[in-house]
Amino acid sequence: MELQEGKDKFIQAWGTLGSQWGINRTMTQIHALLLVSAEPLSADNIMEQLQISRGNVNMNVRDLMDWGLVHKILKPGERKEFFSAEKDIWKVFKQVVKERRKRELEPVFNILSELQQVQGDPQDAEYKAFIESIEGIRKIASRADSTLDTLVKADENWFMGTLLKMMK
């Protein structure tokens, strides 16, 4: 298989996976394109390679920068902005975990603590079902939160080593 064909397949596949994850397809495609490009690319470059509009590139590149996955590169003497993706996949992975933790786990804690306020009769089966679900979710969310926190702060070798140990 030719390199260009491989790149295209990768970009398509990454886009499909992204959209299953609830992430904008174009965003993940741009990310994939930048990942497999040795040199930083300009907006025009991305537009051309992915056949998408300027506005679309601008928006999604901004989102990727918000996620900390892509950086703006200014070349001396060039007026255009260029963009480059973090190539260390372990860093990318940690960054994604960090963002998702912030965006997905925090709202869970907020709603759960609000729901602690619910009053009811401890004899009532409905009340018990409610309280037990809430408590169960809280417990697992807390553990998930500390685990992800550790992961985000961890060095790859340390974390992977520990994982291997615990799977023995």
Partner DNA sequence: AATATTTTTCAAAAATATTTGAAAGTACGA
Partner DNA sequence: TCGTACTTTCAAATATTTTTGAAAAATATT
The reply to whether 17 sits near its own copies by the rule CB under 8 A is: yes
42 - beta bridge partners?
Answer: 82
The reply to whether 147 sits near DNA by the rule CB under 7 A is: no
- Of 82 and 90, nearer to its own copies (C-beta) is 90
Give the SS3 label for residue 41. strand
In the chain, the DSSP E strands lie at 41-42, 70-74, 81-85
Going by DSSP bridges, is the β-strand pair 41-42/70-74 parallel, antiparallel, or unpaired?
unpaired
The reply to whether 81 sits near DNA by the rule CB under 7 A is: yes
Among 51, 76, 77, 114, binds its own copies (CB under 8 A): 114
- Of 35 and 148, nearer to DNA (C-beta) is 35
């869970």: which residue's tokens? 108
- Positions that interact with DNA (CB under 7 A): 19, 24-27, 42-44, 51-56, 58-62, 78-81
